[in-house]
Amino acid sequence: MITINTESREFNEIEKYLMTISPAIISIKDVEDGTKINVDGIMTFTDEKENGESAEIMSIITSDKKVYSCQSATFKRSINDISKIMNGKPFTVVKTSGKTKAGRNFINCTLDLDSVGCKECEVNI
């Protein structure tokens, strides 16, 4: 059972399908680092399985209706922070990943500065 928790905008029925139960959803963890994802909308939902287990999932839909999803707290926090700062303006993120000091893998994203007209910006991360 799917329960939608938050939506960055109103999604139509087809978009809701694409973002929640479509088998075409791409897991962010399977996306190559450096991949640019233009964010057209964000949804979080709870996916409750028949065995009672549940997970909070974030889905991102692009302008060409590709959907990426993840459970990563780090990735979700970064997308939400960028979205709040962008205040409704369109933006693109770049998928990144790495290892924590404890050796655990994580995924994250950064704002694609080119997508917001900042070609001359230099960022040393």
Distance CA 49, CA 61 (A): 23
One pLDDT digit (tens) per residue for the chain, 125 residues: 899 999 999 999 999 999 999 999 999 999 999 999 999 999 999 999 888 899 999 999 999 999 999 999 999 999 999 999 998 888 999 999 998 889 899 999 999 988 777 666 655 44
Sign of CA dihedral 18, 24, 25, 31: negative
Question: What pLDDT does residue 125 have?
Answer: 45
The CA–CA distances, whole Å, from 50 to 4, 17, 47 equal 17, 19, 10
Question: Comparing C-alpha atoms, which of 7, 27, 34 is closest to residue 94?
Answer: 34
> Residue 119: its pLDDT value, please?
61
